[in-house]
Amino acid sequence: MRKFTLPLAIMLAVVVVFALLMNANDGAAPAKFESQDDHAATHTMGDPIVRDVVVSTGAGVHIDPASLPAPGAINEWAEIRTVETASTDEQTRVRITYQVFYGVRGPETAELPPLRLRFEGDGGSPDVEAPALPVSVMPLIPPGIPDEKVAIRALRPAEPRTYSPYPQWLALGLGAFGAGLVYLMWMRGLLPPFAGPLPFRRASRELQRLANQPSPGRAACLVLHRALNETAGEAVFASGLEAFLDRHPEFGRLRGTLVEFFASSRRLFFEDGSDGEAYALCLKLARQARRLERRTS
Amino acid sequence: MVTGVKLREALASGLLLLGLAVAAGSGYRLIVLARENAAIHDPRDVTLDEDTAPEVVFAKAQALDREGDYQEALRLYHTIQNDPVPAFRQRVHYNMGTIYLREAASLWNARGVLEYARVHALVEMAKENLKEALRLNPDDQDARFNLEYAFRITPPPKEKEKANWQGTKSSVFSTLPGIPGGGP
């Protein structure tokens, strides 16, 4: 009795597994060829032909990329250029772009070969075949012209190289260079038409004009006071010198000369002092300040 | 205040130097381009080397072809057929295909089947190059036309000669040794 039990159990197991597998296959939604676009157009040498094949699929079924045709020649007269796929849950669209290299002397009909696509998924699906696609091909050279009378098209000439974008870059570079240069010159007061009021520069010029006067000390002091006031935006007195230097530290190194200038000015105007070295001091101070002053706005 | 002034002065100096560099670089490129365009316009005296611009080589090849030296022209085209610019590559392949086709057509029309082998080789080269030109630009009507013409003048395949192994003493069988008598 036991002798028969083991083989029977094995047979039963095989039957059960087979039934389960069959069940699994029944459950899978198979892929099914749905449509491909119709090619009513007539093609000529070199034309691309786009073939759209639509396959309906169930959920979880997808195309096996290995079953897609590879770009390259498929026969003597056509090549595959690109292969693209787009899938949704219900369908897969395969777009193949062919290119015609068919030399004909009159209208002819040819066929793009059938397309066999493999799908895989839960339980597997059978292969799907899109039928051959007939295409019409027309000649470009009118029929009836003897071969020796056909004039082939001319060679392409060499094309001059375009200068773009270098002229634009040159203009941009020159513009940036010019802008930088003008700004720097403007900052140093080297652009006379736009120099505007650089007080110590103007004071230097005015002081030079005073050089030939008999006692230019007082006038020179006034010129320099005006330049200081203009630079500060307010009247600057000896007591306010430190505040002025705080706001204009570029004149910091002239502190000693400025103190000396204020002392000399006080002597000249309030202590009835003589001109002495006042003019020379003012001129020296104006020249030093001119070198240090910059536009600040 | 001073920091702000110095910063603006530094920025202006930077702008000045940058502008100078850009202007110098583009000016140099413009001079080079002007020289190349002069060479393209009149390539007869151009001496080619590794650094010669592909378009100048193209112009030189064309000048050589015009002077009748189409083989040297094809050799030059071969040196630039792998240029990275597709539009330029397309023109190179078109010209190569058209030169091969022109030579094949003149040979075919002059000598016919007597020059079968050369015509066949030239037409095949013409087809390959014109196909490549069309792969790069399917809208090139001239390449389409010339390729169709190449197909038209493709010589029909020659009939294969029949093997004639029978008969004569000079055939290979007459020299094969026989099986010695008494062998297995």
Q: What average pLDDT does the segment B145-174 reach?
A: 65
Token pair of A232 as six digits:
């500060």
A-B C-beta contacts closer than 8 Å: 175
Best of A43, A44, A45, A80 to substitute, by most chain B Cβ atoms within 10 angstroms, is A45
CA separation for the pair B59, B39 (Å, rounded): 8
Q: Does B15 touch chain A (CB under 8 A)?
A: yes
CA separation for the pair B22, B18 (Å, rounded): 6
Inspect the interface and report whether the beta carbons of B4 and A248 lie closer than 8 Å. no
What is the pLDDT, as a whole number, of residue B168? 47
Token pair of B171 as six digits:
């055939």
pLDDT tens readout for residues B80-105: 999 999 999 999 999 999 999 999 99
A164 min Cα distance to partner chain B (Å): 9
What is the pLDDT, as a whole number, of residue A259? 93
Among the partner-chain residues A147, A174, A248, the one whose CB lies closest to the CB of B23 is A174
Alpha helices per DSSP H over A157-238: 166-187, 199-209, 217-232
What is the pLDDT, as a whole number, of residue A73? 92
Residue of A nearest to B42 (CA): A158
Residue B171 has pLDDT above 60, yes or no: no
Inspect the interface and report whether the beta carbons of B20 and A153 lie closer than 8 Å. no
The gap from C-alpha A147 to its chain's centroid, in whole angstroms, comes to 52
Query: How would DSSP label each residue in A34-69?
Result: EEE----SEE-TT-EEEEEEEEE--TT-EE-GGGSP
How would residue B128 be classed by pLDDT, with cut points 50, 70 and 90? very high
Burial B106-132 (b: 16+ CB within 10 A, else e): ebbeeeeeebbeebbebbebbbebbbb
CA separation for the pair A68, A91 (Å, rounded): 16
Q: Does B21 touch chain A (CB under 8 A)?
A: yes
What is the pLDDT, as a whole number, of residue A123? 59
Q: ipTM > 0.85? A: no
What is the average pLDDT value for chain B, to the nearest integer? 85
Token pair of A108 as six digits:
């002819």
Contact assessment for residue A186 and residue B135, using Cβ atoms and an 8 Å cutoff: no
Q: Tokens 């159990």 sit at which residue?
A: A9
What is the pLDDT, as a whole number, of residue A2? 54
Radius of gyration of chain A (CA): 49
Among the partner-chain residues A47, A153, A161, the one whose CB lies closest to the CB of B142 is A153
pLDDT tens readout for residues A76-130: 889 999 999 988 878 888 999 999 999 899 999 998 888 888 888 765 667 888 8
SS3 A133: strand
Between residues 112 and 141 of chain B, which touch chain A (CB distance below 8 Å)?
131, 134-135, 138, 140
Q: Does B23 touch chain A (CB under 8 A)?
A: yes
Of A78, A74, A165, A66, the closest CA to residue A117 belongs to A66
Polymer length of chain A: 297
Q: Does B38 touch chain A (CB under 8 A)?
A: no
Residue of A nearest to B4 (CA): A296
Contact assessment for residue A137 and residue A107, using Cβ atoms and an 8 Å cutoff: yes
In this structure, of A28-37, B38-47, B61-70, B128-137, the range with the lowest mean pLDDT score is A28-37
Inspect the interface and report whether the beta carbons of A101 and B134 lie closer than 8 Å. yes
CA separation for the pair A91, A88 (Å, rounded): 5
> For residue B170, what is the DSSP state?
T
The proportion of chain A whose per-residue pLDDT surpasses 90, expressed as a percent, equals: 34
Contact assessment for residue A268 and residue A275, using Cβ atoms and an 8 Å cutoff: yes
Strands A62-63, A72-73: parallel, antiparallel or unpaired by DSSP?
Answer: unpaired
Residue B184 has pLDDT above 60, yes or no: no
Inspect the interface and report whether the beta carbons of B19 and A180 lie closer than 8 Å. yes
Specify the long-range contacts of residues B36-44, CB closer than 8 Å, at least 24 apart.
Answer: B36/A161, B37/A160, B37/A161, B40/A158, B40/A159, B40/A160, B40/A161, B41/A160, B43/A158
Polymer length of chain B: 184
Among the partner-chain residues A156, A159, A169, the one whose CB lies closest to the CB of B95 is A156
**pLDDT < 50 regions, chain A:** 1, 19-28
Strands A48-56, A32-36: parallel, antiparallel or unpaired by DSSP?
Answer: antiparallel
**Residue A195: other Cβ atoms inside 10 A:** 15
